[in-house]
Amino acid sequence: MPDPVEADLPVDARRAWQAYLAMRESKEAYFSLLSEIEQKYRNWGKPTQEESGRLAVLLQQHDAGVRAFTEAMAAVTSEASRRALLQRLMAE
């Protein structure tokens, strides 16, 4: 069952909303790990290969999420749907 926000959106805008949520989640995961690494090595040392690798994976996931969101936004062709989606995005 879709969440209330998603249910209020026109059908053609829901894919873009879901892509936005996934993109936001991947961004938060990337910046969370980046922040942890920066704090851990603030005064000395450098990230391990494992930490750097995990960061790279998260960045790739976020890049893929950005592409998916861009494609989903392009698929919203109805002006009313686009307006409803943009209003919801601005409320975030």
Kindly list the domain boundaries of the chain, sorted by start residue: 4-91
Q: Please, how many CA atoms are within 13 Å of residue 12, restricted to the half-sphere of its CB?
A: 12
Of 1, 36, 5, 41, nearest in space to 20 by CA: 5
Quick check: 85 and 14 in contact, CB under 8 A?
A: no
pLDDT tens digit at each of 92 positions of the chain: 456 667 789 988 999 999 999 999 999 999 999 999 999 999 899 999 999 999 999 999 999 999 999 999 999 999 999 999 999 999 98
pTM of the predicted model, to two decimals? 0.86
Residue owning tokens 């069952």: 1
